[in-house]
């Protein structure tokens, strides 16, 4: 059963742009109904594409919060080698995504990502991979590589406040969710030497995660707690960071 679900995910693709536009309005309605959403740093969103939005991934609803915050259709990369709960399968089917195998990044994934950005659209990447923890983890090399080959700037975003949302809903309380949007940065160029390329991928991955960390309280920094770059990036963004 799990293998059949994964094979199905491999066949998905982003829905037409007009469909994602319509679903964006639905997301605005449901987001306002179910949450108290605070968005900071809207002025940092590029006026037009192409660009890559890169965010932390603590919850299955993170993609919907990105659509809510940016108010534009996003072409998400999603791990196709993961298991998605049956009651959540409707979401990736409805909005669509670019399938990404984390163990072997397929040429078709790269081609689709490049095609999206050539059309001046937005690519959505969760560099950590699937949502399994509540603190930051190192970035996967595959998605960092995509951000370099497409030569598009990266827009860092943090999303916090979705934890314990079910218990709050049961009490009739709308959870407060904060989305912080940092200044765009990049793009980067990878060296041709294989060893140097691997080193560069790791370094860019650290920068991406540190820029996301700079947009959230320290208790969420996880693998990047105490990293000296976070303070620099926080000063650069000049955003008020939520305390929880």
CATH number assigned to the domain comprising residue 142: 3.40.1130
How many domains in the chain?
Answer: 1
Residue 108: predicted pLDDT: 77
Residue 203: predicted pLDDT: 92
pLDDT of residue 3 exceeding 60, the answer is no
* pLDDT bucket at 81, cuts 50 / 70 / 90: low
pLDDT digits (tens, 9 = 90+) for 123-149: 999 998 877 789 999 998 777 787 888
pLDDT of residue 87 exceeding 60, the answer is no
Q: Domain for residue 89, yes or no?
A: yes
pLDDT of residue 154 exceeding 60, the answer is yes
Which of 41-50, 95-104, 208-217 has the highest average model confidence (pLDDT)?
208-217
- The more confidently predicted of residues 163 and 69 is 69
Q: Calculate mean pLDDT across residues 61-90.
A: 80
Q: Domain for residue 127, yes or no?
A: yes
Q: How far apart are CA 132 and CA 170, in angstroms?
A: 23
Q: Domain for residue 242, yes or no?
A: no
pLDDT digits (tens, 9 = 90+) for 35-46: 999 999 999 999
Q: How far apart are CA 215 and CA 53, in angstroms?
A: 14
Two tokens, residue 202 = 């790791």
Q: What mean pLDDT is reported for the chain?
A: 86
What is the residue range of 214's domain?
2-237
Q: Calculate mean pLDDT across residues 92-105.
A: 72
Q: Domain for residue 243, yes or no?
A: no
DSSP labels, 144-184: HHHHHHTT--EEEEEEE--TTHHHHHHTT-PPEEEEEE---
Q: Domain for residue 195, yes or no?
A: yes
Q: Domain for residue 92, yes or no?
A: yes
Residue 84: predicted pLDDT: 59
Cβ–Cβ under 8 Å, residues 55 and 121: no
Q: pLDDT over 70 for what percent of the chain?
A: 85
Contacts of 205 (CB under 8 A, 6+ apart): 127, 138, 139, 140, 141, 144
Residue 199: its H or E element: helix 194-213
Q: Domain for residue 244, yes or no?
A: no
Ramachandran quadrant class, 71 (left: phi over 0; alpha: psi -120 to 50; beta: rest): left
Two tokens, residue 19 = 């469909």
- The more confidently predicted of residues 129 and 234 is 234
């Amino acid at each position: 059963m799990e293998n059949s679900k994964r094979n199905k995910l491999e066949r998905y693709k982003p829905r037409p742009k007009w469909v994602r536009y319509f679903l964006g309005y639905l997301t605005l309605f449901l987001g306002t109904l179910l949450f108290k959403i605070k968005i900071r740093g809207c002025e940092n969103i590029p006026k037009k594409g192409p660009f890559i939005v890169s965010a932390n991934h603590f919850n299955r609803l993170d993609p919907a919060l990105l659509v809510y915050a940016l108010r534009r259709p996003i072409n998400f990369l999603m791990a196709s080698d993961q298991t998605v709960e049956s009651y959540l399968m409707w979401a990736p089917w409805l909005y669509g995504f670019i399938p990404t195998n984390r163990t072997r990044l397929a040429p078709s994934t790269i081609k689709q990502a490049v095609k999206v950005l050539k059309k001046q659209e937005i690519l959505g990447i969760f560099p950590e991979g699937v949502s399994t923890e509540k603190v930051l983890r190192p970035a996967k090399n595959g998605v960092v590589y995509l951000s370099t080959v497409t030569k598009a700037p990266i827009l860092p975003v943090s999303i916090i406040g979705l934890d314990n949302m079910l218990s709050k809903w049961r009490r009739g309380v709308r959870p407060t969710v904060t989305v912080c949007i940092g200044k765009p940065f990049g793009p980067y160029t990878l060296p041709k030497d294989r060893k140097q390329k691997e080193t560069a991928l790791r370094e860019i991955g650290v920068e991406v995660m540190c820029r996301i960390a700079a947009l959230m309280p320290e208790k969420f920094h996880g693998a990047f707690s105490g990293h000296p770059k976070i303070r620099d990036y926080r000063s650069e963004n000049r955003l008020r960071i939520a305390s929880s």
